[in-house]
Amino acid sequence: MDQGYEIIWQKCLKIIKKNIPAQSFKTWFEPICPVALNDSVLTIQVPNKFFYEWLEEHYVNLLKMTIRQELGEKGQLEYQIHVNNKNKRIPGAGSQDTSSNQIEKPGFETDQIKNPFVIPGIKKIRIDAQLNPTYLFENFIEGDCNRLARSAGVAVAKKPGGTAFNPLFIFGKVGLGKTHLAHAIGNEIKQKSPNKTTLYVSSEKFTNQFIESLKNNAVNDFVNFYQLIDVLIVDDIQFLSNKQKTQDIFFHIFNQLHQNGKQLILTSDRPPKDLIGVEERLISRFKWGLNADLQVPDLETRMAIVESKMTREGFALPGEVTEFISYNIKNNIRELEGVLISLIAQSSLNRREINIDLAKEVIQNFVSEISKEVTVEFIQKMVAEYYDLKVENLKGKTRKRSIVIARQLSMYLAKNMTNKSLKVIGDNFGGRDHSTVIYSCKAVKDLLDTDILFKDTVETIEKKIKMSVHS
């Protein structure tokens, strides 16, 4: 072959350029250097293994066609990966050698890779984890709503990359603590495994960094940087939806980290199966580890969150105010914390005592309708009024049938309309034990199934209670 390898490769590039978008050509083909031509085998040098894998996955047919057009039917392509100034030859498109699975992983020095989290011109010393130090396990209140996710997070923090929870996929609606838990895991790993390189990034920031790397022809630096991470936390992964190129890059980074035993932690506002506009190959990988959901916290958990937050801020909140706030802010922990911040500000700036009145003023800015809490005492009052009894009758020991039915109905409604335990309900009825409450609830259910008039009575009382708490 009397033509040099550079001339042959330039001819190949002209063909390739006509068949792919300009940006793809600039990103994936301009960085390639031809290095040798032996018989009908053209050898090209690529920056790293990821680059080689990308070409083989996305452009292998185009490369085969181009090489054979320039070198004939026996034309073949081989790759060399640049590894710390040493070349490693890889059989490529059209090669009969199948030993590519023996290729060593490229090694990189951190000071040779551009850090997308560092402002240009500022010397980089280390990779900052981008974690919020205030988000810890200590202030992430555990309840039935989040026990699985929190427990899995603790396990991952103890042994990142060494559990079956890889990836750990945490999902739940807005404001339920996904970001808090993700940061808490990262902070715990930083403390217990300081040798691990941990990084938190939102999917939006990840996407913007990738776009910037495309503009600057620095995709290799972008990929190389993320392959250095031992614990990668990506928040709001659902925002990768319909971003094809970003998904492609993330897929390869995910695979590289996972194959090397690195830990991945992902958060989303929905489970993997409900992600729309995300490639199936990514969704299948999201399902590899553990999918743990965060649910809306119950009243007790919300009260614990309120008490914990106020204690950290140095405020003692009256019990009735804690219950009032927790009862009215039900679906969003972030909103709950917003109410507490506003409450503290109003109290501090205006020198006002924190009481129910102040709590009502603050909550009106967060919810359109303030509900009164349904308490056991309130239910007793409503039932007693309906049956023309005194509340003391419901707490007493009399066995008169009309009073027994009213007492049992009060217990039944207390169980269904409050979050109080059976023991607490029993205590409110003259110190009766939980078994009495259980028996009373069963007796009422039996009556509801057999007595139409009694059923109408129960529905009427329930309606009055609901109307009263929303009035």
Output the pTM of the full model. 0.55
CB atoms within 10 A of CB 336: 22
> Which residue is associated with the tokens 């790397």?
213
**Token pair in block for residue 309:** 């937050």
CA 310 – CA 307 distance, rounded (Å): 5
Residue 21: the pLDDT is: 80
Burial-class residue 164 by CB neighbours within 10 Å (0-12, 13-18, 19+).
exposed
Residue 403: the pLDDT is: 93
Quote the strand ranges of 173-271, DSSP E: 198-202, 231-235, 263-268
Domain at 299-363: CATH code? 1.10.8.60
Task: From the options 3.40.50.1100, 3.40.640.10, 3.40.50.300, 3.20.20.150, give the CATH code of 147-294.
Answer: 3.40.50.300
CA 311 – CA 284 distance, rounded (Å): 43
CA 168 – CA 346 distance, rounded (Å): 40
Its CATH class, for the domain covering 5-99, is: alpha beta
Q: Where are the domains of the chain?
A: 5-99, 147-294, 299-363, 376-469
Instruction: Report the candidate in 330, 333, 325, 309 with the shortest Cα–Cα distance to residue 358.
Output: 325
Superfamily holding 376-469: DnaA protein, C-terminal DNA-binding domain (1.10.1750.10)
Please report, for the chain, how many H helices and E strands are present, in that order: 20, 9
**CA-based end-to-end distance of the chain:** 92
List per-residue pLDDT tens for the chain, 471 residues long. Answer: 445 888 999 999 999 988 888 777 877 888 888 988 888 888 888 877 767 777 877 788 889 889 888 888 888 888 887 654 445 555 554 443 333 333 333 333 334 455 666 544 433 446 788 899 989 998 888 887 888 899 999 999 999 998 889 899 999 888 888 999 999 999 999 999 888 989 999 999 999 999 988 888 888 888 888 988 999 999 999 999 999 899 999 999 999 899 889 999 999 999 998 999 999 999 999 988 889 888 888 777 888 888 888 887 777 777 778 877 877 777 778 878 788 888 888 777 778 878 877 888 787 766 644 455 678 888 999 899 999 999 999 998 888 988 999 999 999 999 888 877 888 899 989 999 888 999 999 999 999 888 888 998 998 898 888 766 644
Same fold, 147-294 and 376-469: no
